Amino acid sequence: MVIKLKKVLLVLLLVLLCGCQSNLDALDIQQSLIEAFDEANSLPTAQADNKKVFYSFYLEPEVGRLESNETSSILKYKETKFAMNLNIAKIVNAQNYGDIIPSTIKLNDELLVATVNGEYSDFDNSIYPYQSYIYQLSDDEYYLTIDTQYVFFSALGNAKQIIDVVKPIMKIARSIEINSDAIMLEYSAKERITFEGEELSLYDEIIPTEGRVSDMINKNNQNTETDTNNPSTPGEENISDIIPSDEEYRTDNLE
């Protein structure tokens, strides 16, 4: 009887300890998130071993793939599921205009409990920014978002789970190689247009330094009247020769 009671007390103690650990992380989740990113970004980068049409990435052996298509995957690290979405709009916009559009989905600011902005290096030693937010949805349920250069990640879990999943997420982010040519071919209808400049003479008349503007206007009117009264010179066509009169147009249509 005493042994059974000790076992029950031990189980209750373990439950309480687990609950305290989760609550402790929740209270200090901002600092925990910072430390998680610092650790993840200090690790060596890995070469991509999962190849898709539009991008390639590395998956740790501890990370399983539950569902996947050409641009998105549902992955699992231990007991935590997280989503990985290739940000096509950001990539196409960056290729066309050189601008980066933030893709982070922000929830109600009242739910926000932690945020971290920083930089990470990839396998090619290129430096990119990242943004991360954690929202508390209930007493022990949190929503994590991580927006990287090419991919947007999101995860649901308790405080400890979402902190632990930062490491494998950043391992993926730092290994990503995109096939920009395939992405632009599939998703961009933009055509490159080359403009050629042509010098145009907007004004044939130069304003005289002396006299009145009205004199120049009268002169132009006289020239116009003269051109109207004179027949066309060889090689030129009158407007009446090009555009038929209303009567001729109606006759042609009737025929």
The band of 145, judged by pLDDT with boundaries at 50, 70 and 90, is very high
**Overall residue count recorded for the chain in this entry:** 255
For the entire predicted model, the pTM comes to 0.63
Closest CA to 71 of 86, 52, 92, 53: 86
| 226 Cβ contact list (under 8 Å, min separation 6) | none
pLDDT of residue 230: 52
List alpha helices for 43-87, DSSP H: none
**Which of 2-6, 25-29, 116-120 has the highest average model confidence (pLDDT)?**
116-120
Asked whether residue 210 carries a pLDDT value surpassing 80, the answer given is: no
Compute the average pLDDT of residues 208-212.
54
Check: CB of residue 78 under 8 Å from CB of residue 62.
Answer: yes
Architecture of domain 17-187 in CATH? 3-Layer(aba) Sandwich (3.40)
Mean pLDDT for 83-101 is 78
pLDDT at 168: 97
pLDDT band at 108 (very low <50, low <70, confident <90, very high): confident
- Return the pLDDT at 93: 79
Residue given tokens 């010098």 in the structure block: 199
Query: Confidence band (pLDDT; 50, 70, 90) for 90?
Result: confident
Cα–Cα dist 154/70, whole Å: 18
153 Cβ neighbours under 8 A, 6+ residues apart: 82, 83, 84, 85, 144, 145, 146, 147, 169, 172, 173
